Amino acid sequence: MRLSRQLIPYLFLAPALLLLIVFNLVPTIATLVESTFILSLRSGERVFAGFANYNRIFNDPVFWKSLQVTIVFSLLVNPIQIFLALCLSILINQKLPGIGIFRSIYLLPIAVSLNVTAIVWGLMLDQNSGMINGILTQWGIARQPFLHSVDQALWSIIVIASWIGVPLWSLFILAGLQNIPPPVLEAAKIDGANAWQSFTRITLPLLRRVLAFVLVADTVANFLMFAPILLLTNGGPQLSTNLIMYETYRRGFLYGDLGASSAMLSVMLVIVFIIIGIELYVLRGQD
């Protein structure tokens, strides 16, 4: 009886924890292990290969190019999304008549999948007869190639990702804004702070934890951007949108080279761990 009472917590935990260990934790470790094997999807043979996979990808210009594209993409999309999300959260935090309707409308992109977003925006950005070009020509601006141009394709992906990303992350920042006790802001007002001063000296510092979380979560999410590339550009034109997650898929599942794919995923895993490490460090410093 006594023993069974001690066992109860573990019985409650067992189903979910076993599933998480088998399907999430083990594969995390296995990614690193798998990267030292060469495996053929067709024959199913696994051969230990040491660092051969890493050697191959590190000597592969396509890998470096996709890493470069991913870094450029990250440096653009994350600041843009977080800045716009901050603006949007301040906007929907205003106490205005009808603000609830606006908040509901801004929830729509969050419920829609990235696939649907990519398909709809892909057609809107169509170089021949898309609506965006329809609007541009009406304003007297020439038609743009968007997804078919080396210079504009990555920006098009940024727009598509931000249509979901900005409202999504603004929800987190909005929750942070609503956690700020109103007396704090009122006190600043009484002390003569103008709106900009109370924003930079009170609101922003109090939002630091939330913003740090959003920065990391957004960075990780965008680091894994995949569906719009698969659906719209296949990495092109000229590898200009060949983000790393798509490159791992192309190598592993289109070319059947799971070894190289695992090595790339290991590199990504290490990068994600570094990002998370920075997050934990920054958040610890706040307490």
Partner 1 sequence: MSQLATDNASTRDKVQVKKNVKPLRSYLKPTLAYILLILGVIIVLVPLMWAAAASFTPNHKVFEYAYPFSWRALFPVDFTLEAYDNLLERGFGRAVGNSFFLAIATVVIGGAANALAGFAFGRFEFRGKQFLFLSVIMLTFMVPVDLTAIPRYILVNSFGWINTWQGLLVPGLANSLVIFLFRQFFAEIPQELIDAARVDGASWLRVLVSIILPISKPVLVAAGLLMFISQWNSFFWPLLIAPRQEMRVVQVEISLAIGQYGTVWNELLAGSMIAAIVPILLVMPFQRYYVQAITGTGLE
Residues 79 and 86: their CA atoms lie apart, in Å, by: 10
52-111 positions binding partner 1, by CB under 8 A = 87-88, 91-92, 94, 96, 99, 102-111
**214: exposed, middle or buried (C-beta count within 10 Å: 0-12, 13-18, 19+)?**
buried
109-138 positions binding partner 1, by CB under 8 A = 109-117, 119-124, 126, 128-131, 133-135, 137-138
Candidate residues 209, 236, 237, 278; the one interacting with partner 1 per rule CB under 8 A: 209
Q: Give yes or no for a contact between 165 and 218, defined as CB atoms under 8 angstroms apart.
A: yes
Residue 227 makes contact with partner 1 by CB under 8 A: yes
Residue 27 makes contact with partner 1 by CB under 8 A: yes
If the CB atoms of residues 152 and 172 are measured against partner 1, the closer one turns out to be 172
SS3 content of the chain, % helix, strand, coil (to 5): 75, 5, 20
CB of 155 to partner 1, least distance (A): 16
Residues 23 and 194: their CA atoms lie apart, in Å, by: 53
CB of 209 to partner 1, least distance (A): 8
Token pair for 263: 């090595």
Candidate residues 62, 80, 206, 224; the one interacting with partner 1 per rule CB under 8 A: 224
Residues 148 and 243: their CA atoms lie apart, in Å, by: 16
Total site size for partner 1, rule CB under 8 A: 102
Based on its alpha-carbon atoms, the radius of gyration of the chain, rounded to whole angstroms, reads 23
Residue 254 makes contact with partner 1 by CB under 8 A: no
Residue 214 falls in which region: left (phi positive, over 0), alpha (psi -120 to 50) or beta: alpha
CB of 109 to partner 1, least distance (A): 6
Tell how far CA 236 is from the center of its chain.
Answer: 20
> In one letter, which amino acid is 133?
N
Where would I find the H helices in 35-98? 52-58, 61-92
CB of 254 to partner 1, least distance (A): 12
148-207 positions binding partner 1, by CB under 8 A = 163, 167-168, 171-172, 175-176, 179, 188, 191-194, 197, 201
Residues 216 and 187: their CA atoms lie apart, in Å, by: 32
Candidate residues 1, 2, 9, 140; the one interacting with partner 1 per rule CB under 8 A: 9
If the CB atoms of residues 137 and 238 are measured against partner 1, the closer one turns out to be 137
Of the candidates 276, 240, 247, 241, the one whose C-alpha atom is nearest the C-alpha of residue 262 is 247
Residue 282 makes contact with partner 1 by CB under 8 A: no
CB of 78 to partner 1, least distance (A): 15
Listed in sequence order, the residues at least 6 apart from 19 whose beta carbon sits closer than 8 Å to its beta carbon are: none
CB of 74 to partner 1, least distance (A): 14
Q: Which stretch binds partner 1 (CB under 8 A): 47-55, 60-68, 148-156, 262-270?
A: 262-270
CB of 225 to partner 1, least distance (A): 10
Residue 263 makes contact with partner 1 by CB under 8 A: no
CB of 31 to partner 1, least distance (A): 5
